[in-house]
Amino acid sequence: MTPLPIHNYLSLTPEQCHSRLQNAKQQLGNHLIILGHHYQRDEVIQYADHVGDSLKLSRLAAQSGARYIVFCGVHFMAEVADILSSPQQTAILPDLAAGCSMADMANLAKVEDAWDQLSKLLGPDPVLPITYINSAADLKAFCGKHGGTVCTSSNAQAVLTWSLQQRQKVLFFPDQHLGRNTGYRMGIPLNEMVIWDFDQPQGGLTLPQLQAAKLILWDGYCSVHQLFQPTDIEHFRQRHPTGKVVAHPECCLEVCQQADVIGSTEKIIETVMSSPPGTHWLVGTEWHLVNRLARQAQATGKKAEFMSSTHCQCSTMYRIDLPHLLWVLENLQQGTIVNPISVPSEIAALARLALQRMLAL
Ligand code: CIZ
Ligand code: SF4
């Protein structure tokens, strides 16, 4: 059947979307699972069967056995859902333009080039490649092929500890901040963590710098989390001397050094929600999560405040809206799959290997 065109949906009112979404969701029943990442808008989150971080959601989708996995998140997340689910399941991303600018900062050609240069400079096998889950499937496959693995913001320390037991050095991509913040907490000196500038020959590094390095950090970052500044924390502490600060490890080192707690989206929520009534938190992560958390915290006598005076939200997460969600569901109702995310089988097999190594840790 010809797909229903997206332009029929873009001018619908929220009310029209809501009544049709409820109907579509009900009709698709347990053939469908809708996953909502913490950074999604509230109006989308209300349709999610599960809300969580990318890995937790993909595991739940695979366990559910639902035929259609609609991932309200960004592209790499739908890829992970496809890799971890069975061949009978299909992962769907409501808007294909929902990418991750940090994930796009590393690509296979540049990583292979870095790998070749490192092998020539340092000899065979001293380096293990590790990718943050925020990366394309072919980079996860690259790690699978070369003995490496994947990490999330929850398990980065366990993964790096394991990695440095396997080999002397780690090439970590794409997020320099997660790599550096984790290395710092493990006691790795800052001069043993170098930045690989992928636009420079030899990553812009000298041979002695590379020989001394334990972590070779890709020059990538999240433009949302990089907006938080140490001065945001200083101003908060002046206003609220007994307040507490929690930050995501995608924030820069200076912000994480000043935070009381550093953690993934799941850990941030758990930390705030399990704190005693009366606690006032400053939270450094995406705006939609913090806004929702602030409402939940308030209901239990706590306060959660957004870390920046700039309204920093993830613009690609924001692309998933009610019209796009309705468009994919009504297409499914008539038996048409729009926007399937399907990782080629050879890449999926190696990426799965890298993910399984992580899950076994
Ligand atoms: O893995 C995820 O879902 C991301 C991007 C962040 C986090 O800390 O959970
Ligand atoms: Fe990517 Fe940053 Fe958006 Fe997360 S918040 S999806 S890392 S751009």
Question: How far, in Å, CA of 342 to CA of 258, rounded?
Answer: 41
CA of residue 286 to ligand 1 center, whole Å: 10
Long-range pairs of 353-356 with CB within 8 A, sequence gap ≥ 24? 353/144, 354/131, 354/140, 354/141, 354/143, 354/144, 354/148, 354/149, 354/150, 355/80, 355/83, 355/84, 355/140, 355/144, 355/149, 355/150
Say if residue 240's pLDDT is above 80.
Answer: yes
- Going by pLDDT thresholds of 50, 70 and 90, the confidence category of residue 312 is confident
Is 54 a pocket residue for ligand 1 (Cβ < 6 Å)? Answer: yes
Task: Please report the atom of ligand 1 found closest to the CA of residue 55.
Answer: 1
- Going by pLDDT thresholds of 50, 70 and 90, the confidence category of residue 110 is very high
CA of residue 354 to ligand 1 center, whole Å: 18
Question: How far, in Å, CA of 207 to CA of 79, rounded?
Answer: 36
Of 156 and 312, the structure prediction assigns the larger pLDDT to 156
Average confidence (pLDDT) over 208-219:
98
**248-295 confidence digits (pLDDT tens):** 999 999 999 999 999 999 999 999 999 999 999 999 999 999 999 999
Question: How far, in Å, CA of 102 to CA of 219, rounded?
Answer: 10
- Going by pLDDT thresholds of 50, 70 and 90, the confidence category of residue 35 is very high
Domains of the chain: which residue ranges?
A: 6-98+316-344, 103-222, 225-306
In the prediction, which pLDDT does 310 show?
Answer: 85
Give the bridge partners for 52, in sequence order.
37
Architecture of the 6-98+316-344 domain: 3-Layer(aba) Sandwich (3.40)
Q: Which ligand is nearest to the CA of 133?
A: 1
In the prediction, which pLDDT does 181 show?
Answer: 98
Whole-model pTM: value is 0.97
Question: How far, in Å, CA of 352 to CA of 143, rounded?
Answer: 10
Residue closest via CA to ligand 2's atom 1 equals 100
CATH code assigned to 225-306: 3.40.50.10800
- Going by pLDDT thresholds of 50, 70 and 90, the confidence category of residue 123 is confident
Q: Which ligand is nearest to the CA of 103?
A: 2
Matching fold, domains 6-98+316-344 and 103-222: yes
Sign, CA dihedral 319-320-322-326, equals positive
In the prediction, which pLDDT does 124 show?
Answer: 76
Q: Which ligand is nearest to the CA of 358?
A: 1
Q: Are 58 and 23 in contact (CB under 8 A)?
A: no
Question: How far, in Å, CA of 186 to CA of 193, rounded?
Answer: 12
If one counts every other C-beta atom within 10 angstroms of the C-beta of residue 138, the result is 19
**161-182 confidence digits (pLDDT tens):** 999 999 999 999 999 999 999 9
- Going by pLDDT thresholds of 50, 70 and 90, the confidence category of residue 311 is confident
CATH topology of domain 103-222: Rossmann fold (3.40.50)
In the prediction, which pLDDT does 117 show?
Answer: 97
In the structure, which protein residues have their CB atom closer than 6 angstroms to any atom of ligand 2? Answer: 39, 74, 100-102, 134, 222, 224, 286, 314, 316-317
**177-200 confidence digits (pLDDT tens):** 999 999 999 999 999 999 999 999
CA of residue 119 to ligand 1 center, whole Å: 31
Averaged pLDDT of the chain: 97
Is 133 a pocket residue for ligand 1 (Cβ < 6 Å)? Answer: yes
CA of residue 324 to ligand 2 center, whole Å: 20
In the prediction, which pLDDT does 282 show?
Answer: 98
